[in-house]
């Protein structure tokens, strides 16, 4: 596969990863904002289940010390292309800066677990509807 295509696939995975993180973080902010602004759609059961499963997946990964598959696949594609990690485009640089931090592993476990706890608490504070209309 040509290196340009490999890098395009790696950049696409990076964008998907950022969108996943945005869904998890902004989803929680939106759920609590919806409570205060009385937005009925934040109580949509399907949305809430998907949101809870997304952060649950992240929390379990960190507890097990597993690297996110999106990160692994992205790095494999960059290595296959012979590219140095994140020396590429402007968008790539900033998306990487937003997504990846250098902290001890225990810090991620604590932060993700606390965030996951806030998402779980949202089920009791902003209860989902029993049935989607």
Section 37-57 average pLDDT: 96
Handedness of CA 12, 18, 21, 23 (dihedral sign): negative
Please give the pLDDT value at position 26.
97
Half-sphere exposure of 118 (CA within 13 A, CB side): 14
Residue range 55-81, pLDDT digits in tens: 999 999 989 988 889 888 988 998 898
DSSP one-letter code for 84 = P
Instruction: Please state, as a whole number, how many other Cβ atoms lie within 10 Å of the Cβ of residue 78.
Output: 24
pLDDT at 95: 65
pLDDT at 89: 52
């Amino acid at each position: 596969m040509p290196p340009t295509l490999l890098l395009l696939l790696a950049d696409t995975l990076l964008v998907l990863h950022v969108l996943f993180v945005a869904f998890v973080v902004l989803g929680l902010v939106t759920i609590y904002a919806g409570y205060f602004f009385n937005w009925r759609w934040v109580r949509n059961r399907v949305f809430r289940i998907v949101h809870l499963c997304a952060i649950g997946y992240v929390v379990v990964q960190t507890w097990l010390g597993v690297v996110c598959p999106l990160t692994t696949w992205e790095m494999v594609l960059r290595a296959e292309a012979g590219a140095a990690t994140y020396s590429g485009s402007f968008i790539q640089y900033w998306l990487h800066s937003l997504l990846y931090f250098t902290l001890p592993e225990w810090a991620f476990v604590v932060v993700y677990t606390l965030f996951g706890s806030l998402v779980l608490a949202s089920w009791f504070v902003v209860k989902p509807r029993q049935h989607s209309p």
